Amino acid sequence: MKINHHFDEMVPNYLFADVARKTNEFAAAHPDMTIIRLGIGDVTLPLAPVVVDALKQGSEDLRHQNTFRGYPDYEGYEFLRNAIAQYYQGFGVTVHPDEVFVSDGAKSDCGNVGDIFSQDNTVLIPDPVYPVYVDANIMAGRKILYAAAGRDNHFLAMPDPDVRADIIYLCSPNNPTGAAYSAEQLQEWVNYALENDAIILYDAAYEAFIRDDLPRSIYSIDGARRCAIELCSLSKTAGFTGTRCGYTVIPRELKREGQSLHALWYRRQATKFNGVSWPVQCAAAAVFTPEGQRQCRENLDYYHRNAEMIASALDELGIYYTGGKNSPYIWMECPDHMGSWEFFDYLLHNAAVVGTPGEGFGEQGKGYFRLTSFNSHEKTAEAVDRMKRLLS
């Protein structure tokens, strides 16, 4: 018996464990100080009332003989796929309900989708990045190339015509940088993918945070239906991080080697996934009702206000950053050329504010720091005041 030795190639990721340890040590040494956490990548506001009502009703359905449900459809109930297709229509993108696969979240899908592709493919991943893309492909034994993002491209990696890749992960608005691609930039990626016979795995988990006139979906770009799979999530859009629901879109016409990727993914899901529970799909459908959208928007606006507070403080301090406008994340350059961990310690010890060192998201994250808007207005305002006092 042999284990999968590709696990040996993974860099141990102690990022959040180290952040927690250092924060706890500081808290124990300074019991009088109130620590403010702006490192959190999880939502903090409760679910929208209309979502909870649907969740309750869905659970109640399971109590009664005539409304009880067993195994759900592998690809999700039709009413939810219709609602998702209509949601896309709301920002001018046509996606057919039968191209939507409901899942338990984007994290599983962004790793699992690799099952339909050969291990021999080369994967191109922007750096810095959501670490799941990297680890999932190391586990699968694929060769990984990195597309560097940095100040010169405002943390939006662009294709290099000299680099040949088969699978490309893009995430916009991005975690950790908060940067979001324009239609022109995405068109360049789509053109590159079409020229290279590559597939783009487009992670749109933060699309609901977009405020500017920027693409909410890769399918608003010409040619994307022939080269892209879109992954999306209700985690940040609607606070489903604990409730678990997401969706993946695979256009019917998307083919490689003459085979439909939609058919391959259906087969994969039917083999390894038994669907999302009835109450959760009812709750997810409630997100897409007009009242659900209104209530979820209130939460998004709340986070957005926090992001604005942080961004305007950085503007005042003259610190370079990306994100904050179309994203819950603010990605700032560490002042005075400090390293990511050096700045983490400096901010913790002098302002009792916790963020996330950028180097935890890749080589290019060195010297950068991620702040998030997932906290209360009061605490965010207090953190911002402390940062202004410390850094001005």
Residues that bind ligand PLP (CB under 6 A): 41, 105-107, 130, 171, 175, 203, 205, 233, 235, 241, 246
Nearer to ligand PLP, 103 or 380 (CB): 103
Please identify, using beta-carbon distances, which residue of 196 and 356 lies nearer to ligand PLP: 356
| Closest to 110 measured CA to CA, from 91, 128, 129 | 129
Query: How far apart, in whole angstroms, are the C-alpha atoms of residue 269 and residue 113?
Result: 9
The least distance separating ligand PLP from the CB of residue 106, rounded to whole angstroms, comes to 4
Q: Nearer Cβ to ligand PLP, position 206 or 343?
A: 206
Residue whose entry in the numeric block shows the structure tokens 């040590």: 25
Going through the chain in order, the beta strands assigned E by DSSP cover 36-37, 100-103, 122-127, 143-148, 167-171, 199-203, 228-233, 246-249, 255-256, 259-260, 321-323, 329-333, 353-354, 356-357, 368-372
What tokens appear for 185 in the block? Answer: 């930039």
**Longest CA pairwise span in the chain (Å):** 66
Least distance from C-beta 139 to ligand PLP, angstroms?
17
Shortest Cβ 42–ligand PLP spacing (Å): 8
Token pair in block for residue 171 = 């995430």
Residue 335 or 355: the one with the smaller Cβ distance to ligand PLP is 355
**Of 54 and 238, CB closest to ligand PLP:** 238
Q: How many CB atoms lie within 10 A of CB 106?
A: 25
Q: Which residue is nearest to ligand PLP (CB)?
A: 105
CB of 1 to ligand PLP, least distance (A): 31
Contact by Cβ (8 Å): 10, 256: no
Report the alpha-carbon distance of residue 71 to residue 77 in Å, rounded.
11
Measured between its terminal Cα atoms, the distance across the chain in Å is: 60
38 neighbors 353 (Cβ within 8 angstroms): yes
Question: How many C-beta neighbours within 10 Å does residue 196 have?
Answer: 18
**Nearer residue to ligand PLP within complex by CB, 175 or 196:** 175
d(CA 332, CA 158): 20
CB of 235 to ligand PLP, least distance (A): 3
Nearer to ligand PLP, 140 or 390 (CB): 140
Q: With beta carbons less than 8 A apart as the criterion, state whether 50 and 286 touch.
A: yes
Smallest distance, Å, CB 41 to ligand PLP? Answer: 5
Of 171 and 249, CB closest to ligand PLP: 171
Smallest separation (angstroms) from ligand PLP to the CB of 110? 6
Tell me how far, at minimum, the Cβ of 8 lies from ligand PLP, in Å.
25
